[in-house]
Amino acid sequence: MVSSLGRFIIAVFKDLVGVVSLFLDILYWIFIGPFKGKTVHRESVVHQMSFIGIRSFLIVFFVTIFTGIVLAMQTSYQLGKMGATIYVASLVAVSLCRELSPVLTALVVAGRAGSAIAAELGTMKVSEQIEALDTMAINPVRFLAAPRFIALFFMLPCLTIVGNISGMIGGFIVGAGSLHINPDLYIQTTFKYLALKDIYTGLTKSFVFAVIIALIGCYEGLNTSGGAEGVGKATTQSVVISFILIILSDCALTAVFYFSNV
């Protein structure tokens, strides 16, 4: 019992060291590599941006618009009792921007792009493609991990903004359609209570989530072993670990913002 717990702690510690050193390695290739004549490929970043960002657009749009609709319906049920139905608008906007849109978008992207990164790099690992790159003196972190990291870092906040807007559209549909709030009044109330800090705290979170998804996906992929089964395991692991870390870091960041009155 004690020894298995010890083994578990050692394994977690080893993974932690691995993830941190991968992070430092990626930062090295992004910021110091170019001065040594080794840049991260621009085409590869653009390709990843299109895969991670543009192709996740629709799913993020649908997930958040329906969340906005549900949120408006559920809160109007409560607020209606107090005759404060009009505040549905601000409640939907603030809770989406501060919390729901960054988290839901991150979870969707972790499930879609994070898993794809782990599966692709994992397959490359077990089919000797990573070793081939290394033998050709092409650093796999620079060639594979860094473009995915950069793409996620910039695309996840963009998708979060898409989520903010589509979620508010969802709320608007319910507010103006079913709750019979004057559309102009709904829009006015939305922006009256939505402060800039609500948006940037949400976006700050999404930058952190992007780092988590990219690092976990790349780490699991690059450390895959054991053939097809190993690739499956790495893919599942990447999603599970990303989900847990996203929720954990969301809690931690919310606490930081809460106690520092941001």
Partner 1 sequence: MKNCDSPDREAVISLRHVSKSFQGRKVIDDVSFDIYCGDIFVIMGCSGSGKSTLLRLMTGAIKLDEGQVIIKGKDISRASSGEIDEVKKSFGMLFQYSALLDSLSVEENVALPLKEHTKLAEDIIRIIVNMKLSLVGLRGFEEYYPSQISGGMRKRVGLARAIALDPDIVFYDEPTSGLDPVVGGVIDKLIKDLSEKLIITSVVVTHDMQSVFKIADRVVMIHKGRVIETGTIEDIKNSRDPYVRQFISGSHTGPINFFKEDLGVL
Please say which residue, 142 or 205, places its beta carbon nearer to partner 1.
Answer: 142
Of 16, 32, 131, 200, which one interacts with partner 1 (CB under 8 A)? 131
Q: How far apart are CA 117 and CA 67, in angstroms?
A: 27
Q: How far is the CB of 128 from partner 1 (least distance, A)?
A: 4
- Residues 207-236 as x/- pattern, contact with partner 1 by CB under 8 A: ------------------------------
By the rule CB under 8 A, 43 interacts with partner 1: no
Interacting positions 51-90 with partner 1 (CB under 8 A) = none
- Shortest distance (Å) from residue 47 CB to partner 1: 9
Instruction: Figure out which of the listed residues 3, 4, 135, 261 binds partner 1, where binding follows CB under 8 A.
Output: 135
Instruction: List helix spans (H) across the chain.
Output: 2-27, 42-52, 57-81, 88-95, 101-109, 115-126, 129-135, 140, 146-172, 183-193, 196-222, 227-259
Residue 183 · residue 172 · CB < 8 Å: yes
128 binds partner 1 (CB under 8 A): yes
The crossing angle, in degrees rounded to 10, of helices 146-172 and 196-222 is: 140
- Locate 77 and state its tokens: 């049920």
Among 62, 66, 84, 134, binds partner 1 (CB under 8 A): 134
Q: Is 21 in the site for partner 1 (CB under 8 A)?
A: no
Give the one residue of 30, 87, 129, 188 binding partner 1; rule: CB under 8 A: 129
Find the Cα–Cα–Cα–Cα dihedral 159, 164, 166, 171, rounded to 10°.
160
Instruction: Give the one residue of 10, 84, 132, 244 binding partner 1; rule: CB under 8 A.
Output: 132
Options 12, 17, 24, 138; binder of partner 1; rule CB under 8 A: 138
Nearer to partner 1, 128 or 229 (CB): 128
Question: Nearest 5°: phi and psi at 38?
Answer: -120, 100
Q: Which residue has the tokens 């549900």?
A: 70
Question: Shortest Cβ distance from residue 130 to partner 1 (Å)?
Answer: 9
Q: Is 2 in the site for partner 1 (CB under 8 A)?
A: no
Give DSSP secondary structure letters for 36-77: GT-PPPHHHHHHHHHHHTGGGHHHHHHHHHHHHHHHHHHHHH
By residue count, the chain amounts to 262
Give yes or no for a contact between 250 and 205, defined as CB atoms under 8 angstroms apart. Answer: yes
Taking the least distance from each CB to partner 1, the nearer of 133 and 165 is: 133
Report, in Å, the least distance between residue 51 CB and partner 1: 11
Of positions 21, 50, 78, 127, contacts partner 1 by CB under 8 A:
127
- By CB under 8 A, name the binding residues for partner 1: 123-124, 127-129, 131-138
